[in-house]
């Protein structure tokens, strides 16, 4: 059977779940979304012809607009297990404690994830894995695997809400986008990399492997120490300020390098932001380039055209503003 996997998504929070919904559908999954205990149980009771996996929040209202029930997700889970014994479940929760771990201890069928530390790409990989395992154990329930990694897009970025709750989604997208844009010039990269014996963390770290292009020129033409490219991501609605630049600069060192990217959603006051970056350079603290959503959109479009010259020119022009 060559049908798309059907996923039941049960959650009442619109912003993060709409992003999961769009992201997974773009990658070949068919989603059914329910926002209350009543709607989810009704869907399960009617026994849909195909159900390949469930993404379930624990905090749910009895009905849309009603008060949240701390045990709402547990009621849905109980019905689910009676109706669909072998369907894999991903439980999303803000609180992973002993009670939750005990109640949903069902290896091979149920996984528990922290809601705001699990980007959609990870959900996609997990779904494909559990569906593949289920297909092997129960061939009569077979569906095709949907997860096919694809380059990050600006459309995906626009769907990520701004704010701390979705910061991990933003970090995950930025990591994939920068790796896609700069390709073999950067190593695979590590997210949430601990430094200084665990006292500090860097959002993303790439090894500089460039043998040509902008990052190679940093080392050779401009004599900037940058064996590693340090990246800080700020999923704010407002412009990053001095504290955010100071945080990134505080990660610079002789061994790690003195160049970093501050990736944010928008820069409303470009002149002030440039002055802040110049302050860093003029005080011999290093070099910081700021990339916003519109910049990443430009770079992704250039990458789609295989236009490496435009990518290098863009980065060189930004760097020139700091040194000329």
CATH number at residue 195: 3.40.91
Query: What are the counts of helices (DSSP H) followed by strands (DSSP E) for the chain?
Result: 12, 12
Q: What would the mean pLDDT of 263-268 be, rounded to a whole number? A: 96
How far is CA 239 from its chain centroid? 21
Please indicate, yes or no, whether residues 262 and 296 belong to a single structural domain of this protein.
yes
pLDDT digits (tens, 9 = 90+) for 214-227: 999 999 999 999 99
pLDDT digits (tens, 9 = 90+) for 224-253: 999 999 999 999 989 999 999 999 999 999
Distance CA 65, CA 59 (A): 13
Please indicate, yes or no, whether residues 193 and 76 belong to a single structural domain of this protein.
no
Range of the domain at 133: 6-141
Q: What would the mean pLDDT of 101-106 be, rounded to a whole number? A: 77
Please indicate, yes or no, whether residues 297 and 159 belong to a single structural domain of this protein.
yes
Flag whether 148 is in a domain: no
Report the run of H or E that residue 124 belongs to, with start and end: helix 120-137
Please indicate, yes or no, whether residues 185 and 270 belong to a single structural domain of this protein.
yes
Flag whether 292 is in a domain: yes
- Percent of the chain, pLDDT > 70? 90
pLDDT score recorded for residue 241: 94
Please indicate, yes or no, whether residues 168 and 106 belong to a single structural domain of this protein.
no
pLDDT score recorded for residue 135: 66
pLDDT score recorded for residue 188: 73
pLDDT band at 4 (very low <50, low <70, confident <90, very high): confident
Q: Dig out the tokens for 297 from the structure.
A: 């959109």
Flag whether 241 is in a domain: yes
Q: Dig out the tokens for 288 from the structure.
A: 């910081």
Please indicate, yes or no, whether residues 108 and 166 belong to a single structural domain of this protein.
no
Q: Phi/psi at 54 (nearest 5 deg)?
A: -130, 135
Q: Dig out the tokens for 312 from the structure.
A: 């290098």
Please indicate, yes or no, whether residues 160 and 284 belong to a single structural domain of this protein.
yes
pLDDT score recorded for residue 139: 56
Q: What is the pTM of this model?
A: 0.63
Flag whether 197 is in a domain: yes
Domain CATH for 108: 3.40.50.2300
308-323 vs 270-282: helix axis angle to the nearest 10? 70
Out of 79, 111, 141, pick the residue that ends a domain.
141
Out of 110, 141, 172, pick the residue that ends a domain.
141
Q: What would the mean pLDDT of 254-272 be, rounded to a whole number? A: 95
Please indicate, yes or no, whether residues 136 and 164 belong to a single structural domain of this protein.
no
Please indicate, yes or no, whether residues 161 and 104 belong to a single structural domain of this protein.
no
Beta sheet of 200-207, edge-to-edge order: 190-195, 200-207, 228-234, 259-264, 287-291
pLDDT higher than 80, residue 261: yes
Residue 156 DSSP class: H
| Residue matched to tokens 């979705």 | 166
Q: What is the DSSP string of 17-47?
A: HHHHHHHHHHTT-EEEEE-SHHHHHHHHHT-
Distance CA 20, CA 29 (A): 11
Domain count, the chain: 2
Note every long-range contact of 270-275, with CB atoms under 8 Å and residues 24 or more positions apart, other chains counting.
272/239, 273/239, 273/240, 274/321
pLDDT digits (tens, 9 = 90+) for 137-163: 655 545 544 444 567 889 889 888 899
pLDDT digits (tens, 9 = 90+) for 108-124: 678 888 776 666 777 77
Flag whether 147 is in a domain: no
Pairing of strands 68-69, 259-264: unpaired
Please indicate, yes or no, whether residues 175 and 233 belong to a single structural domain of this protein.
yes
Distance CA 118, CA 104 (A): 18
pLDDT band at 132 (very low <50, low <70, confident <90, very high): confident
Q: What is the rounded average pLDDT for all residues in the chain? A: 85
Distance CA 206, CA 233 (A): 14
pLDDT score recorded for residue 137: 64
pLDDT band at 266 (very low <50, low <70, confident <90, very high): very high
Q: What would the mean pLDDT of 90-116 be, rounded to a whole number? A: 77
Residue 94 or 219, more confident = 219
Please indicate, yes or no, whether residues 195 and 89 belong to a single structural domain of this protein.
no
Residue 131 or 265, more confident = 265
HEC readout, 242-283: HHHHHHHHCCCECCCECEEEEEECCCCCHHHHHHHHHHHHHC
Residue 95 or 144, more confident = 95
Distance CA 32, CA 40 (A): 10
Q: Phi/psi at 8 (nearest 5 deg)?
A: -90, 120
Q: What would the mean pLDDT of 279-287 be, rounded to a whole number? A: 96
Flag whether 88 is in a domain: yes
Please indicate, yes or no, whether residues 298 and 175 belong to a single structural domain of this protein.
yes
Out of 100, 117, 141, pick the residue that ends a domain.
141
How far is CA 144 from its chain centroid? 24
Distance CA 261, CA 205 (A): 10
Distance CA 153, CA 307 (A): 16
Q: What is the DSSP string of 45-80?
A: HT--S---EEEEES-EESSTTSPEETTHHHHHHHHH
């Amino acid at each position: 059977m060559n049908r798309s996997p059907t996923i039941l998504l049960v959650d009442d929070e619109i912003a993060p779940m709409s992003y999961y919904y769009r992201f997974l559908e773009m990658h070949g999954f068919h989603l059914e979304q329910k926002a209350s205990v009543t709607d989810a149980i009704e869907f399960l009771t009617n026994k849909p012809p195909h159900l390949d996996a469930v993404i379930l929040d624990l905090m749910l209202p009895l009905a849309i607009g009603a008060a949240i029930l701390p045990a709402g997700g547990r009621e849905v889970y109980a019905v689910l297990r009676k109706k669909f014994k072998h369907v894999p479940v991903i439980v999303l929760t803000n609180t992973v404690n002993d009670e939750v771990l005990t109640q949903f201890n069902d290896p091979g069928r149920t996984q528990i994830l922290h809601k705001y530390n699990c980007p959609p790409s990870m959900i996609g990989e997990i779904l494909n894995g559990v569906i593949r395992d289920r297909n092997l154990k129960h061939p009569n329930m077979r569906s095709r695997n949907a997860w096919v990694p694809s380059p990050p897009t600006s459309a995906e970025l626009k769907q990520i809400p701004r704010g701390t709750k979705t910061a991990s989604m933003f970090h995950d997208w930025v990591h994939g986008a920068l790796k896609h844009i700069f390709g073999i010039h950067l190593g695979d990269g590590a997210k949430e990399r601990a430094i200084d014996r665990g006292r500090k963390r860097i959002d993303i770290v790439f090894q500089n492997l460039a043998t040509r292009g902008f990052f190679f020129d940093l080392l050779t033409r401009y004599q900037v120490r940058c064996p590693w490219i340090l990246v800080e991501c700020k999923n704010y609605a407002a412009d990053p300020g001095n504290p955010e630049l100071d945080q990134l600069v505080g990660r610079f060192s002789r061994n790690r390098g003195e160049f970093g990217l501050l990736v944010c959603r928008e820069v409303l006051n470009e002149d002030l932001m440039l002055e802040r970056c110049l302050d860093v350079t003029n005080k011999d603290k290093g070099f910081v380039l700021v990339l916003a959503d519109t910049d990443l959109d430009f770079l992704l479009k250039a990458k789609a055209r295989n236009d490496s010259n435009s990518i290098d020119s863009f980065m060189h022009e930004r760097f020139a503003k700091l040194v000329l």
